[in-house]
Structures are given as structure tokens and as C-alpha cells.
Amino acid sequence: MAPTHPVPTPPYAEETGLPWDVSVGDAVAAIAAARARHGDTFVVESGRDHYLFTFSATGVESFYGLTEETASKGVADYLMLRRKLPDDIFAGRRTLPSTLFRRDDVAVYLANLDRALEQTIAELEATGSVDVFDLARRLGHRMGLASWAGPGSADGDAFERLVRAFDTLDGSEAFVHPDKMAAVAASGKRAERAALDEVADTIAAAVRRYDAGDTDDQALFGRIVDAWTPEPEEVRLRGIALDIALIHIASMSNLAAALGWALVDLLEHPTQLSRVRLGNRDFAQSCALESTRLAQRSIMSRTVLSPVRFDTGEVTYEVPPGWTIATLLPLLNTSVAPGLEQWDPDRWDRHRLIDRDALPSPMLVTAFGHGRHSCPAQPFSLAAMTAATTRLLREYQMTPCWTAHPQPVGAQIGGVARAAGPCLVSYVPRSTASKTSTER
């Protein structure tokens, strides 16, 4: 009889919890402390769930090598977002966010971004102050809604209704403020359901305009509408609206946050800001990548659907269905080589780190993921951030009102960081600033 070998068991971080189950002041710091105690691979129990965290070079490579059929990102994302969003928004979708981010779609988004920037500039007073994250979020709403929400959705009362509704429906709250999800559940998601109805009502008006012939510059919206052509009118209108709601929620919130951090970092680095303002678009893209890398709070997770043999380099573990395999980008992005904790856009050449071969694995540092797990919106997001920072910093002289670098929300574990407090800047048009300087 052949000898049997015990199945290796990873260490359990019994002293560590996740912020949707226990109160955690700094979720990233809590996982970092568990890593310091238990090594690069350990288990965190969260309620009835088990999270196998991995941080070794081999473990992270194994993570990115997981197939969707075996360990699903889609299921993991759904389980996270459903803490905040009504189930209706997930059921029966016919146009998913990834299908609207083909490379040949980027030109459409950038044209809408140009129009959104014009409207944003028109809304700003001649001089004043604004929170950079509020500015970025409103700009993102306008660009996204112009792209896929139909005629009239990015203007006037329809735009304001949709902004209010989508701010309520912000799915990122599930990982930005996980401690608030118990109250959302206790309410039966009452506010979220009302907001979803508001979106459906507003989008129905856009569909009727489109049906009546208002189809100019509506190619992306048309693809969504076409997917619901055979259905009865009530089903069709609701289906189109929910497709748009999921697309907008999934696409805009992290982009707006990343754009906010790009502005924060450039305002704190005047030399690099000057290079961007003068139109160096390649460098502006490097700044966007670097700000996104440092602002990551993402828990990259995969829900195990069938048994996985997971190689961490030292040990191969048997991971059962129902568990989640995860890694945490803020720990990897700043710790696997000297100097990574500093903002330095010159470390990028196009989309690649210049010194990536010096890392234990090139997969240990990322802004948008790797391989099949890369964000499908990366080309669009970088183009949008580059265009927006260049235009805003060319138009305005902005002066930050904060005295210390803004900090992320401590409980956040997922997505791009949200600032824990206001990030106000005072602004004046550069033409006015130049005239004042000359007069002096």
C-alpha cells in the first residue's frame, strides 16, 4: 500500500478580519500585518468565507494564470457588488461593459470627453475652488453618459437626474465603505432601488428620442438598443436602462478616482506638471499610470468554482470550491523593489515598467492588471486621463489647498483609492494669471 501524504494547510491569520465583517481602521495595513506574521501565503476567514491571500512571485503568477472557468473574477466581482446593488441590475444583461471598450471605440469616447471638458469648463466660475475628486467624478459622468446613455442624457435636467441616481448607485461603495453595507442590507437597498427606477425612467426618454430619429453620434447607445429589439416595449426599455446602469457603474467610478489622483500628484510636482501642461502626451500617460499604480487599493480576487491546485513556489495547496484566492495590489505595488513607494512617472515606457526585468516577477507591479486579467478599459482610461489632465492644467492655474498629501479611506479594500477628506484646489484661468503676473 502506497504511503499517503497529508494535504498541506496554509496558515490561518485568525487575528485578521475583513472590513465587511469586522471594524477595521486600515484594511490594507491589517493584511500587511498578517503577511508580516504568517508569510506570503495565508488564509483569512471572513464570516463563512475563506480568502487565500498570496504575495510570492510564484503565487501571484499562479493567480494571474487562473482560468475564469476554474476561478472566476466575474463571480468574485458580483459577490462584492451585490452587497450594494440591487440584484435586478445583474440579471439578464445583454451588453456587458467589456464589449464597449474595443480599440476602435476609443475615438468615440475621446470626442465625448472633449465635449465634456468644454461643458465642465463652462460650468466653472471665472475663479474659485473645487474638490478635484468631485470635478473628476462629474466629468466622468458626463463623458460616460454622452457615450452610451443616449441622446440628451449628458445635458440639462436629464444629466442632473442621472448624476444623482448614479451617485446613490455607486457600486464601489461596497469596497470603499464596506462597513456601511450592513445598513444598506437592513434597508432592503431602498435608496438604491429608487435610484435604479430613476435611471430607467430617464433612459426611457433617451430611447424614445433615438427611436424618433435622434441617432447622430449614438453608435454605442445603438448597440445597446439593438440587443433588445425583439422584446415588448416595457421589457425593452427596462432592459436597455439596466444594461446602461451596469456599464456606467462598472466603468466610471475607478476612472474618476484615478483622474483625481493624477491631478493631485501633478499639483504636488510642479516640474512634471509643466511637462504635461506643455503637451507632452506620452509623459502625461506615464503620470496617469504612476498615479493609478500608487492609488490602487484593489483586492484582486477569484472565486474558486472547481478544485484548484495552487502553486505558491514553496507549497502547492488544494483550494476547494467556494473559497476565494486573492492578492492585494497596494502591498505588491510599493514593496517588491526599492523606490516603488515614491511617485516617479519616468519609471514607465509606454505601458511597461522600464525596470520590470529587475523584479522577482513582472506581475508583481501593475496599474491595470496582467494578461487575460487586464482591465479591458485600459486604453480608454489612459487616453481619457491624459487628455483631461493636459486640458485642465493648460486652462487653469491650480493651487492645492491641502498641506499634507491626501490619504485614502482607511476601510477601503478594493478599486482605486478614494480620498478620506476634501481635496480642494483654488483655480484661476491661466490667461488671467499670466496677465496679473505681467502687470506686476
Question: What distance in Å separates the CA atoms of residue 239 and residue 265, rounded to the nearest whole number?
Answer: 40
Identify the bridge partners of residue 319 per DSSP, sorted by sequence position: 308
Which amino acid type is present at position 324? T
Contact 326, 302 (CB under 8 A): yes
pLDDT 10s digits, 280-331: 999 999 999 999 999 999 999 999 999 999 999 989 999 999 999 999 999 9
Identify the bridge partners of residue 427 per DSSP, sorted by sequence position: 128, 398
Instruction: Classify 223 in phi/psi space as left (phi over 0), alpha (psi -120 to 50) or beta.
Output: alpha
Question: What distance in Å separates the CA atoms of residue 159 and residue 167, rounded to the nearest whole number?
Answer: 12
Question: What distance in Å separates the CA atoms of residue 203 and residue 24, rounded to the nearest whole number?
Answer: 39
The pairing of beta strand 316-319 with beta strand 308-311: antiparallel
Give the mean pLDDT of the chain: 92
Q: What is the pTM of this model?
A: 0.93
Contact 420, 409 (CB under 8 A): yes
Which range in 242-256, 265-279, 345-359 is most confidently predicted, on average pLDDT?
265-279
pLDDT 10s digits, 330-387: 999 999 999 999 999 999 998 889 998 889 999 999 988 887 767 777 888 898 999 9
Residue of 365, 329, 340, 364 whose CA lies nearest to 62:
364
pLDDT at 1 over 50: no
Residue where the block lists cell 478594493:
414
DSSP 8-class letter at 366: -
Residue of 259, 242, 229 whose CA lies nearest to 198:
242
What is the model's pLDDT at position 251? 85
Contact 174, 253 (CB under 8 A): no
**Residue 292 host element (H or E):** helix 281-295
Which set of grid coordinates corresponds to residue 63?
493567480
pLDDT band at 195 (very low <50, low <70, confident <90, very high): very high
pLDDT at 434 over 60: no
CB atoms within 10 A of CB 337: 16
Residue of 347, 329, 328 whose CA lies nearest to 338:
347
What is the model's pLDDT at position 376? 77
Residue range 51-77: average pLDDT?
95
322 CB-contact burial (10 Å; exposed 0-12 / middle 13-18 / buried 19+): exposed
What is the model's pLDDT at position 436? 52
The pairing of beta strand 324-328 with beta strand 49-54: parallel
**31-36: long-range contacts at Cβ-Cβ below 8 A with a sequence spacing of 24 or more?**
31/328, 31/331, 31/413, 32/331, 35/331
Please report the beta strands in 107-179, taking only residues with DSSP state E, as ranges in sequence order: 128-131
pLDDT band at 47 (very low <50, low <70, confident <90, very high): confident
Buried b (16+ CB within 10 A) or exposed e, 7-20: eeebeebeebbbbb
